[in-house]
Amino acid sequence: MSDKDSPTGAILQRDKKTYAIVPRTPVGVVTPDVLEALARVGRKFEIPIMKITSGQRIALVGLEKEQVDQVWEDLKMDIGPAVGLCVHYVQACPGTEVCKFGLRDSLGLGLELEKMFVGKELPAKMKVGVSGCTMCCAESYVRDVGLIGKKKGWTMVVGGNASGRPRIADVLAENLTRGEAIELVGRFMDYYRDNSNKRSRSSLFVKRVGIDAVKAAIL
């Protein structure tokens, strides 16, 4: 919830004076350059609170209004959507890139989805989790769109939610190739955009229409 006077990409805080910003760190990966920028900005502006979020991002909290633009300029990073009605983030576990248990390249697929879909306008916010195995470290079953890597391919689940009205996602399709998974994520988002009520999260939408209707429409 950002008020109209808020500077770009800033969220007004409880004291009604200071702001928080959330730079975009796709699938939680922070390169040495980005790390250096965050550390430099933290030092220079004496940022009171830096908070690691559950969405694999780092929020900078307690900025004065006039600092916001300067901080963004210093960071040279994109804004991570945190309030709009769109795809906010894609989170991913390390998958086959790093993890011993990984069966699929969750980081690679997550990054590709992030580039394609973050910021895409939808009836409500959307969160995506890509896990490289069934341990589900990216919590795919409680995301609007979840992907889970298995031996035979990707399982795609939709309509999950981890909020105060939680919902476990329904399985939409199994044994997908990476290409098929990306295409199906796009089809699901379009179907949801065209058929859901404004501000109705995918969990409410899928519950209302039923997973069979979703399957019939997009598979």
Question: What distance in Å separates the CA atoms of residue 93 and residue 143, rounded to the nearest whole number?
Answer: 14
* Number of residues counted as binding other proteins (CB under 8 A): 59
Backbone angles phi, psi at 15, to 5 degrees: -75, -5
User: What does the CA dihedral 181, 182, 184, 188 come to, rounded to 10 degrees?
Assistant: 130
For residue 215, the SS3 value is helix
- What radius of gyration do the chain's Cα atoms show? 18
Q: Which of residues 104-133 bind other proteins (CB under 8 A)?
A: 129
- Does position 49 interact with other proteins (CB under 8 A)? The reply is yes
- Does position 199 interact with other proteins (CB under 8 A)? The reply is no
Spatial CB neighbours of 145, under 8 Å, sequence gap ≥ 6? 126, 127, 128, 129, 156, 157, 158, 185, 188, 189, 202
- Does position 28 interact with other proteins (CB under 8 A)? The reply is yes
- Does position 31 interact with other proteins (CB under 8 A)? The reply is yes
Min dist. Cβ of residue 68 to other proteins (A):
15
Question: What distance in Å separates the CA atoms of residue 114 and residue 4, rounded to the nearest whole number?
Answer: 27
Min dist. Cβ of residue 47 to other proteins (A):
6
Min dist. Cβ of residue 10 to other proteins (A):
13
- Does position 70 interact with other proteins (CB under 8 A)? The reply is no
Question: What distance in Å separates the CA atoms of residue 41 and residue 74, rounded to the nearest whole number?
Answer: 7
- Does position 34 interact with other proteins (CB under 8 A)? The reply is yes
Q: Where are the alpha helices (DSSP H) in 46-177?
A: 65-75, 95-98, 106-117
Q: Fill in the per-residue mask, 142 to 181: x = in contact with other proteins (CB under 8 A), - = not in contact.
A: x-------------------xxx-xxx-------------
Residues in contact with other proteins by the rule CB under 8 A: 1, 12-16, 18, 20, 25, 28-32, 34-36, 38-39, 42-43, 46-47, 49-54, 56-59, 61-62, 91, 93-94, 96-100, 102, 129, 134-139, 141-142, 162-164, 166-168
